[in-house]
Amino acid sequence: MYCQIGVTDMVNEIERKIDIEIERNRIRISIFHGEDEQVIKLTLEEAEELAEILEKVLDDYSKRKQIRID
């Protein structure tokens, strides 16, 4: 399985891309920002923990966006 997320910053013309691949016994996450690349290899347990943390952070972010400050 392969997944790709990409964003291009039109102002600075910098491309950011995240590739997620399943290797034999690891989840490989490659983050590209302009010409730089960072590769992270996670075990299944680490990937599941990261997914849980991201879910909590995104939920918190969504709730904070809904709060109106007067």
DSSP output for 7-35: EEETTTTEEEEEEEEE-SSSEEEEEEETT
What are the tokens at 10? Answer: 């039109």
66 vs 10, residue with greater confidence: 66
List all residues 6 or more positions away from 43 whose beta carbon is below 8 Å from its beta carbon: 25, 26, 27
pLDDT of residue 13: 65
Whether 39 and 21 have beta carbons less than 8 Å apart is answered as no
Single pTM value for the model: 0.71
pLDDT band for 8, please (50, 70, 90 cuts).
low
Percent of the chain with pLDDT over 70: 79
Cα separation of 37 and 32, whole Å? Answer: 4
What mean pLDDT is reported for the chain? 84
Mean pLDDT within 2-10 = 67
What are the tokens at 7? Answer: 């964003």
